[in-house]
Amino acid sequence: MTLAPPHLPPSPHVPSEAQRRRAAYRRRQTVTSVLVAAASTAVLGTLLVVAVTGAPGWDRVRASFGDPAVARDALPEVLTGLWLNVRLLVCCAAGALLLGLLIALARTLRGPVFFPVRALAAGYTYTFRGLPLIIVLYLLTLGVPGLRLQGMPSVLVLGGLALVLTYGGYLAEVFRAGIESVHPSQLAAARSLGLTYRQTMRHVVLPQAVRRVAPPLLNDVVAMQKDVGLVSLAGPIDAVRAAQIATAETFNYTPYIVAGVLFVLLAIPLIAVTDAVTLRAARRQGRSAR
């Protein structure tokens, strides 16, 4: 009788007959799925193209919305306007995120000394989440300069301020939801180590809260990108306003299409970042839930 040596190295894994059959079946299924998807996309695409281009007014619409010559002429102005959108977005998003965080923190302050701060912060989020952006814009860009104060900032800065104030209210609530989503046992653990309330917020609660709400925060920044153009109501020329001016000169709407395409192109990287952050957050949550 022979005995196997006690520490035989593990032999390489050979898939069983059943596993090989399952793998072959899944491969066949994948090929079928791809073919079906390709066929249905082709059918739907053809139908759409036929329906749109076959419409009685298609030639007129194409001429007034898709004229390549008009698009080429309008592009420089629209791009100049878009550069204003980008600069405004960067500044206003940073400002609104900071303001939102400060307001959310103010609402978590405890103790009688901070009652006015808490009340002010709560009043702010109630007011500016309810107030339409356009009204805030008019108040700040038309009303405030009317005070004729010394050292009045430019209309652009005031318009940006209107955006920061409006979006700050939304972002504050997102931050607050994140802060409140951190389990009380985390606070208890931090306090039991002797950390003060502030240290607990700074080192334990906020890092977890911000990570959790990063996806919705970025989503609001994507939404903000479309609204920064509204400052043009007060004078500064953004991409949409530049397209409008170009349209007024040629009576052709193609510049709007140019601006729209540029906006979408601008949004794609931001949306991609948002999706990546969301995915990472979901993966991390899933792992720690185990």
Partner 1 sequence: MTLLRCRGLRKTYAGHVVLDGLDLTVDEHRVVALIGASGSGKSTLLRCLNLLEPLDDGTIELDGQDVSDPRVDPDRVRRRIGMVFQSYNLFPHLSVLDNITLAPVRVHGRSRAEAAAQARELLDRVGLAAKADDYPDRLSGGQQQRVAIVRALANSPRLMLLDEVTSALDPELVGEVLTLIRDLKAEGMTMVLATHEMAFAREVADEVCFLDGGWVVESGPPERVLGDPTEPRTRQFLHRIIEARRL
Nearer to partner 1, 101 or 243 (CB): 101
Provide the residue count of the chain. 290
Nearer to partner 1, 16 or 185 (CB): 185
Q: CA-to-CA distance for 95 and 272, rounded, in angstroms? A: 22
User: Binder to partner 1 among 64, 208, 244, 250 (CB under 8 A)?
Assistant: 208
User: Binder to partner 1 among 191, 222, 257, 273 (CB under 8 A)?
Assistant: 191
Binding flag, residue 283, partner 1 (CB under 8 A)? no
Helix axes 68-108, 254-289, angle to 10 degrees: 40
Q: Provide, rounded to whole angstroms, the least separation between the CB of residue 193 and partner 1.
A: 4
Instruction: Put residue 151 in one of left, alpha, beta given phi > 0 → left and psi -120 to 50 → alpha.
Output: left
Do 177 and 103 contact (CB within 8 A), yes or no? no
User: Binder to partner 1 among 188, 272, 276, 282 (CB under 8 A)?
Assistant: 188
Do 224 and 167 contact (CB within 8 A), yes or no? yes
Binding flag, residue 290, partner 1 (CB under 8 A)? yes
Taking the CA atoms of residue 93, residue 95, residue 179 and residue 125 in that order, the dihedral angle to the nearest 10 degrees is -100
Nearer to partner 1, 19 or 199 (CB): 199
Binding flag, residue 233, partner 1 (CB under 8 A)? no
User: Binder to partner 1 among 7, 110, 192, 248 (CB under 8 A)?
Assistant: 192
Nearer to partner 1, 163 or 204 (CB): 204
Binding flag, residue 193, partner 1 (CB under 8 A)? yes
Binding flag, residue 196, partner 1 (CB under 8 A)? yes
Binding flag, residue 195, partner 1 (CB under 8 A)? yes
Nearer to partner 1, 2 or 185 (CB): 185
Nearer to partner 1, 191 or 226 (CB): 191
Binding flag, residue 207, partner 1 (CB under 8 A)? yes
Nearer to partner 1, 190 or 231 (CB): 190
User: Binder to partner 1 among 13, 110, 148, 287 (CB under 8 A)?
Assistant: 287
Binding flag, residue 11, partner 1 (CB under 8 A)? no
Q: Provide, rounded to whole angstroms, the least separation between the CB of residue 104 and partner 1.
A: 18
Binding flag, residue 110, partner 1 (CB under 8 A)? no
Contact footprint for partner 1 (CB under 8 A): 185-186, 188-196, 199, 203-204, 207-208, 211, 287-288, 290
